Chains A and B, each alone.
Chain A
């Protein structure tokens, strides 16, 4: 009950004209960027990060939260109308969304289903976040340096291990991200380290240009290969809001899968590395074990509802470990965490007690963003085709310019632009060779926390590694860590043995 009162206090923080307008702006921009095929939520949030510089920290983070959250809505639009998922969670939406739009000739209803399910899933995720966030923070308060080190190692390894096709490559970039983060100053003693005599490197690698480059500019270089793909929607009728409405029966069909996936997605979102994509996949898989009026994969409302509710619930659920433990569940979460840190906020167990206004303000702003995004998402249905069919040929120079100006604006110096350029080129080369950059961003953000906790743990134990196995929490976390590392290795060996026998 106390949490509900705190949430109401949070609404008092949010309901200023500036914060409501900023939430609206974040929702509109996030929706548009998320809808554009080929941009995706990670690049979208990274490119829009500099826009928050104008505000005070609370307003800035409210805008970032709205941006992140509305991006999840937008990804499904191109999946439904063009069969091109705007981001990876929307891959599952395309399975039923596109056939519903084209074969069943009900594109408006597919969009409506997606929007309502996203709203329901997100709402469930936010309600659980309201109760689980502080509880998770209470648990986090019991964590000493050894437990935090173990938890951070689990988070980093699981994301490095799970994102991308090759776990080894994920871990390589996780480690590279950690080393890049150690450049500049030693976090504990403040002495210069790995700056190679450069005055610029003394301040470390700046976060925003690094993210804009390795995600946004790398995406531009990638888009060149797709620039000749014609983006066309083969719709026979114009999309209208009235023509997109669902019947009462269809709403009844939508609700059970949306509710089930909402709960499932939230808990998936809490796990590091799982995130919205896994949530969407599991939501769809869960729906397969239930009855659907139309067969899944042929344009069933239940299919669209299940994955959309799950991915939005996962996006909301991922805020719980982000705020309560300072651990993001995905690359986009890492950008958000970087944004929080940029504003001098240190997410972790103490945040709920030291910055309650901020925490509850952010959580309540997610409720507001969910509602506003739903309204805007329904209102822009008639204009979606125009937004989605912006030629990639024009998006390439446009995003290039935004990357350069955005990187410059973070430091008002060309150093930021150079960091963006170099990290963009490297990010593209790495991505092209199967190295996903998301683990690198995550470890870059978390490395200072990992280092300070690990060093403190070793100071307490006087160099003994036993500190990580002495207490139950850290012991369990270390066992999880070993399981994460060993499972793919054992699975690979078993597959090889079975292959040689077969």
Chain B
């Protein structure tokens, strides 16, 4: 477990924002240009200035972060992200609608241990919203996935 003094995400964040600032600063100066004698500020001007300030403020945030208490994230908090990643990957193969239905059933029935009645009711309501609002009303063409696309040709 992360303690108050050990290195953790709270210190990593200002380090990464400083790196982010340095990248923008470096590219601004070397690739996009800072100032032109006649044309004035070039495309790299503004991001370079912001990059410099970000590096300074990130250093201050890093210094302050040593006083912050560690707040580790329980593994369970990442499960919706795993689920969302599952839908994204599933969409490529099985299509978005099928992946969403599979996610809802797995989550509600097998992870949260709700009854089949609640699982099916909730899934049907959500699928009705997705199909009704997004597919029919907003006319969003949902990806069908490799398998259905293969059948289509």
Contacts and interface: CB of A to CB of B under 8 A. Distances in A.
B60 A168 contact: yes
Given A186-B43, A221-B81, A175 B21 contact: yes
Interface in B33-64: 35, 39-41, 43-47, 50-51, 53-54, 57-58, 60-61, 64
Contacts, number: 171
Contacts of B104: 397, 401
B45 to A, nearest CB: 7
A424 interface: yes
Interface stretch (A176-184, A247-255, A346-354): A176-184
A459 interface: yes
Contacts of B134: 50, 405, 409
Nearest to B18: A172
Given A172-B57, A224-B77, A412-B140, A401 B88 contact: no
A292 B32 CA distance: 63
Contacts of B13: 429-430, 433, 435
Interface in A397-430: 397-398, 400-405, 408-409, 412, 414, 417-418, 421, 424-425, 428-430
Contacts of A50: 134, 138
Interface residues of A, number: 61
A179 B50 contact: yes
A189 interface: yes
Most A CB atoms within 10 A — which of B27, B68, B107?
Answer: B107
Binding site of A, secondary structure by majority: helix, strand, loop or mixed? helix
A433 B71 CA distance: 7
B46 A175 contact: no
A269 to B, nearest CB: 28
Given A166-B64, A175-B53, A182-B46, A397 B108 contact: yes
A179 B83 contact: no
B96 interface: yes
Contacts of B54: 172, 175-176, 179
Interface string B121-153: 010001001100110011011110000000000
Contacts of B77: 221-222, 224-225, 428
A393 B57 CA distance: 39
Contacts of A54: 137-138
Binding site of B, secondary structure by majority: helix, strand, loop or mixed? helix
Contacts of A398: 122, 126
A337 interface: no
B83 A178 contact: no
Contact of B58 (A53, A172, A189): A172
B80 to A, nearest CB: 5
B100 A401 contact: yes
B26 to A, nearest CB: 11
Interface string A203-226: 000000000000001001110110
B73 interface: yes
A409 B137 CA distance: 11
25 contacts: A54-B137, A169-B61, A171-B57, A172-B58, A176-B20, A179-B24, A179-B47, A179-B54, A194-B47, A394-B112, A394-B122, A396-B107, A397-B107, A397-B108, A397-B126, A400-B80, A400-B84, A404-B100, A414-B91, A417-B88, A432-B73, A433-B13, A450-B46, A451-B46, A455-B41
The 8 closest A-B pairs by CB, nearest first: A186-B43, A459-B40, A175-B54, A397-B107, A409-B140, A451-B46, A455-B41, A224-B77
Given A396-B80, A401-B100, A421-B85, 10 more contacts: A171-B57, A172-B14, A182-B50, A220-B80, A225-B74, A397-B107, A408-B142, A428-B77, A434-B68, A458-B40
Interface of A: 50-51, 53-54, 166, 168-169, 171-172, 175-176, 178-179, 182, 186, 188-189, 191, 193-194, 217, 220-222, 224-225, 393-394, 396-398, 400-405, 408-409, 412, 414, 417-418, 421, 424-425, 428-430, 432-435, 450-451, 454-455, 458-459, 462-463
